[in-house]
Chains A and B, each alone.
Chain A
Amino acid sequence: MQQHCDSEDLALLALGEPVDPACEEHVSACPQCSAELADLRQVVSVGRASGGPDALESPPPRVWAAISDQLASEPVPLKRPDTAPPRRRWTGLVAAAAAGILIGGGAVAVITGQNTPETVVASAQLAPMPDGPDRGGSAEATLNRTDSGYTVTVKASGVAGPEGFYEVWLLDPENSGLIALGSIAAGEQEATFPVPDGVDLDTFNAVDVSDEPLDGDPTHSTVTVLRGTLEA
């Protein structure tokens, strides 16, 4: 049997160019070379279909402006409420944007915050835990930014009633940290809770709803009925 094709010849074959006839003949009989060729042909066909770099489109500058605007108001891991103001953190990024990160330059404007009264910055579909009770229905949580800080809204529909009462928590899944936000009365479809100032929403990034017995114990009952991770 003839020796394997020259690897550069296989590349040319993949492009549809004629090569050394001995190689062309060898390929059809050699599983290794024909597999390699099929692979490279796939790359060529995807590459040709892609239209190349000219087919890539740049998002308009307002997209980056919106990203940096949103991140400029991200909460930071503040241990104490009286440390550096949150907006500090993104100044480097905003400056980088202003300095010309925005491809195409030109009309770069809106980096200053437009404060709407309430903006949904993240949301989560809440679902039963694999090993927890399933009360049916569906629920969603949103993290909202308001002029006076963050709030969490939980909207539920068709979820069966609690044995005790439903309590809403912010959860740090990695460290099992919990911050109680408040309770939802049985049958209530929607409730909004203020988030305490200074909570690090990068780590407390999940919403947990538990069924709490009326026993006066303020800790989590460990009976989670719904949970979801907040995502932008």
Chain B
Amino acid sequence: MQDVDVAEVGRQLAAGEESALAEAYERWSRLVYTVALRSVATQADAEDITQAVFISAWRSRASFNPEAGNVPGWLLAITRRRIADHHRKRRDEVPLDNAPETSHDAPDITDQVSVADEIDELGEPAGQIIRLAFYDDLTHQQIAERLNMPLGTVKSHIRRSLLKMRARLEVTHAAAL
């Protein structure tokens, strides 16, 4: 999935290349849609939000600065605004007494989905190593045996991958400001 690098998609999008929106959709619609699904009540609402996010992204592409941010972080910032709008509209429709008291500010959802997306983009064997460490709870020795790799290679993949995920979280947080 790493054909064109993230920064290049951003530059093309800012320049108004239509194909860049299609590329952005292919790469990050799961990110946007999954965050939306976990933040609103129905699948139909999540679909509407996903649609609105990419339409907004296209319309406001001129305001995207490819030097200062990356596309997934920017899309998530738009997603959060759309989700907040959605909940605000809902609240306005419901009489105040019946309005549910919920917190719609859910950075943990965007964090989790961002990290899942980053793991997806790690490439192999890093992605597989992280999956085995995270979800199968294998130690690095067990991973090394299973994949028939030197211990040092496994360790360095683990470290580099964790740093990539951390960097992704930092970008996600920066874009939220």
Q: Do A and B come together as binding partners? A: yes
B159 part of interface (Cβ distance < 8 Å)? yes
**What is the size, in residues, of chain B's interface with A at 8 Å between Cβ atoms?**
50
User: In the complex, A15→B115 CA distance in Å?
Assistant: 15
Given A44-B162, A63-B47, A64-B25, also A232-B55 (CB < 8 A): yes
The answer, yes or no, to whether B117 is at the interface (CB within 8 Å) is: yes
* A59 pairs with B29, CB closer than 8 A: yes
* A188: Cβ under 8 A from any B Cβ: no
Question: Apart from A53-B131, A59-B33, A96-B22, what 10 extra A-B contacts exist at CB < 8 Å?
Answer: A10-B159, A12-B158, A46-B169, A53-B127, A55-B34, A59-B50, A67-B55, A71-B55, A93-B22, A101-B22
Q: For the complex, would chain A's binding face be called helix, strand, loop or mixed by DSSP majority?
A: helix
A63-B165 in contact (CB<8A): no
Q: Which of B31-71 contact A (CB under 8 A)?
A: 31-34, 37, 46-47, 50-52, 54-56, 58-60, 62
> Contact between A70 and B55 (Cβ–Cβ < 8 Å)?
yes
Whole-angstrom CA separation of A49 from B133 in the bound complex: 13
Interface residues of A in 1-47 (CB under 8 A from B): 7-8, 10-12, 14-15, 17, 39-40, 42-44, 46-47
Chain B residues 102-117 with CB under 8 Å of chain A are: 108, 111-113, 115-117
A8-B115 in contact (CB<8A): no
Asked whether A57 is an interface residue with its Cβ less than 8 Å from the other chain, the reply is yes
Q: Across the interface, do A52 and B55 meet the contact criterion of CB distance under 8 Å?
A: no
Q: Which of A67, A89, A232 contacts B25 (CB 8 A)?
A: A67
Residues of A within 8 A of B54 (CB): 67
Nearest residue (CB) in B for A90 is B18
The answer to whether B134 touches A52, judged by C-beta atoms less than 8 angstroms apart, is yes
Which B residues have a C-beta under 8 Å from some C-beta of A?
18-19, 21-22, 25-26, 29-34, 37, 46-47, 50-52, 54-56, 58-60, 62, 108, 111-113, 115-117, 119-120, 127, 130-131, 133-135, 139-140, 155-156, 158-159, 162, 165-166, 169
11 A–B contacts from the bound complex (CB under 8 Å): A11-B159, A40-B166, A44-B162, A50-B112, A51-B112, A53-B117, A53-B131, A56-B31, A63-B47, A63-B50, A92-B18
Residues on the A chain within 8 Å of B111, using CB: 46, 50
A224 at the interface (CB under 8 A from B): no
Complex CA distance for A34 and B139, rounded to whole angstroms: 21
8 Å CB interface, A80-121 against B: 89-90, 92-93, 96-97, 101, 103
